[in-house]
Amino acid sequence: MRKPKRGLRPLKQARTTKTLRSLQFANPGRQITEFTPETSRREKRKLQTKPSNQSNVDRQTMPIKSKVYDSQGLLIYSRLDRCDCLDEDCLGCFYPCPSCGSQKCGVECRCDRKWLYEQIEIEGGEVIRNKNVN
């Protein structure tokens, strides 16, 4: 019979001991157990540099945008059916809208839209203004 080598047993035992030690609970210490994020230096510094509270207040006080167009795509204040190209006599010069089918909707459908075109600036320098804007 062969005798087992003596060098392998202590090595295995050392590995096992090391593994068991790494798996044991280690007390995290006073700094971790008494940590409160509200009073930490990092949190205080973040609050000083980031004025997020001010922007939230501004957002809450801003008025809600009212609709400019009704559910049929007509201007609410005048009940007119004007094309987004701002030409009064236009019967519709855009591709049919995928939402409502109208040829008077430009980039976005006019139904329940909250904005309108005030003016269109053409590269040559011509500016077409909307006559319905106050």
Is 101 within the bounds of a domain? yes
CA pair distance 40, 37, nearest whole angstrom: 5
Is 131 within the bounds of a domain? yes
Which helix (H) or strand (E) segment is 121 a member of?
A: strand 119-121
- Express as a percent the part of the chain with pLDDT over 70: 82
Is 40 within the bounds of a domain? no
61 is written with which tokens?
């006080």
CA pair distance 47, 31, nearest whole angstrom: 22
- Express as a percent the part of the chain with pLDDT over 90: 31
Is 90 within the bounds of a domain? yes
- Residue 39: CB atoms within 10 Å: 8
Is 44 within the bounds of a domain? no
Give rounded-to-5 percent helix, strand, coil for the chain: 30, 5, 65
For residue 93, give its domain range.
67-134
- Residue 110: CB atoms within 10 Å: 25
Is 11 within the bounds of a domain? no
Per-residue pLDDT at 7 = 58
What does the pLDDT look like over 21-31, one tens digit per residue? Answer: 888 887 777 77
Number of compact structural domains in the chain: 1
Is 17 within the bounds of a domain? no
Is 120 within the bounds of a domain? yes
pTM over 0.85: no
